[in-house]
Chains A and B, each alone.
Chain A
Amino acid sequence: MIALVKRDLALAIRAGGGFGLGLAFFLILCVLVPFGVGPEPALLARIAPGILWVGALLAALLSLDRIFQFDYEDGTLEVLATAPLPLEGVALVKALAHWVTTGLPLTLAAAPLGMLLNLPAQAVPALVLGLALGTPALSVIGAFGAALTVGLKRGGLLISLLVLPLYMPTLLYGADAARRGAAGLEASTPLLLLAGISAAAVALMPFVTAAALRMNLR
């Protein structure tokens, strides 16, 4: 399992495009928004939590089809399916590798990018904590979407239609926590709910992901 994590991380970092691309997309989105809505600090401060969360969501979405696609095409996935490690474990590891390469950098980058969007300093803890708690859910749910569309030639657009509705609760609580943080309110309720969603998703989604993979491999 650890070997698989190492392999996936090495592939993601060395193959290029995967690791930095999500972050670069996140950055460019945060640069584009002020151009779109105007540079007023008050307005930016109000919409910053939402923009950062939607940006994180889209950046995570960007690299989803990579989770299983290459392994499916070159047959690695079939080898993994027959390996002693259960496919559920493989699904979890793949999601973990995706999180380390996208969710974690996004969480770390959110605070500096928040300054770009004039995010109030008091919102930063709720935002970063929310992203840290919420992005694992994004990765495991995304892995499920990737498993559904792995057999398709052009699954990229379909995957967003499948996965984005599933992201709705995560986005809702995450952005709400950041908004409450910005307003100086107690943000623990949405954060706890977010943690609950993540915990349940991490525990349950690998099973459906593995089931979907088996259906595609049959």
Chain B
Amino acid sequence: MSIWKYANPKQFMHSTAWLVPLFSYAAAGFIAVGLIWGFFFTPDDFRQGSTVKIIYLHVPSALMAINAWFMMLVASLIWLIRRHHVSALAARAAAPIGVVMTLIALFTGAVWGEPMWGTWWAWDPRLTSFLILFLFYLGYIALWQAIETQDVAADLTSILCLVGSVFAVLSRYAVNFWNQGLHQGTSVPVATGGRTVDDVFFVPLVISMIGFGLLFVALVLLRTRTEIRHRRLHALLARERAAQ
């Protein structure tokens, strides 16, 4: 059995019917544990006070905002190469979730930045590139909505996603060149393993990140199912009209 069997909408609907509740409950569990632990059972940071706790929302949502785009990129590639409709619909389904994650990250960052940096917003590389990512999401969604023929829309948005990815990375490095920022570097560098955050904060953070990841998967699956049903309904209506 290969992964491509899920490209069949029927097989996809069949398998995800029980995966969606599974992922939803798991996401709810992980997020609840991560946030409650993080908000109520971790000590305050000695310099940041209790504002440090916004990290449990900020970091996971920022992580998922970027990963959502990556997922769209992979799904777009699969659509362009193998023409699986489920893939195109999954990319479409992920975009609004990515927008919301980007907004959560920007909003919680602003809320944290006001007491810590003394400003809601700064033209810092990380902040700016997130705003640009937000614009890319908006353009992607707008293009999906503007084109009526679904397959053409899937084609064009896929290619926009490809080009957009290149330019998003380019913008990321361009703004780095432009302005040295306020935003701190990561405290959890995966490559070097040199973690600068204590376990007390780290464990609930990881749980919260896993929770957000599961939430994203659950939402994408759910929205993809909705899109498939939407398509089926359209096909059905078209057939009815043709029969009359």
Task: Report which A residues bind B (CB closer than 8 A).
Answer: 144, 148-149, 151-152, 155, 158, 161-162, 164-166, 168-169, 172-173, 176, 190, 193, 197, 205, 208, 211-212, 215-216, 218
- Tell me if A212 and B167 are in contact (CB < 8 A): no
Within the complex, the shortest CB–CB distance from A41 to chain B, in Å, comes to: 25
Residue B147 CB within 8 A of the other chain: yes
Task: For the complex, give the distance between the alpha carbons of A169 and B163 in Å.
Answer: 13
Determine if B139 and A165 form an interchain contact, defined as CB atoms under 8 angstroms apart: yes
Q: A144-B163, A158-B142, A172-B175 are in contact. Are A165 and B156 (CB under 8 A)?
A: no
Interface-located stretch among B22-30, B103-111, B130-138: B130-138
A169 to B128, CA, bound (A): 12
Interface assignment of B178: CB less than 8 Å from any CB of chain A: yes
Chain A's interface: helix, strand, loop or mixed, by majority? helix
Binary interface encoding of chain B residues 136-159 relative to chain A, with 1 for a CB under 8 A from any of its CBs, else 0: 101100110011000010011001
How many B residues touch A, CB cutoff 8 Å?
24
Question: How far, in whole Å, are A218 and B151 apart by their CA atoms in the complex?
Answer: 10
Within 8 Å of chain A (Cβ to Cβ): is B162?
Answer: yes
The verdict on B171 contacting chain A, using a C-beta distance below 8 Å, is yes
Query: Which B residues from 173 to 203 make CB contacts under 8 A with A?
Result: 174-175, 177-178
**B141's closest neighbor in chain A, by CB?**
A161
| B164 sits at the interface (CB 8 A) | yes
Given the complex of chains A and B, what is the CA–CA distance between A212 and B174 in angstroms? 26
CA distance A165 to B172 in the complex (A): 12
Contact A155 B152, CB 8 Å, known A165-B164, A169-B167: no
Known: A151-B152, A158-B143, A215-B155. A165 touches B135 (CB 8 A): yes
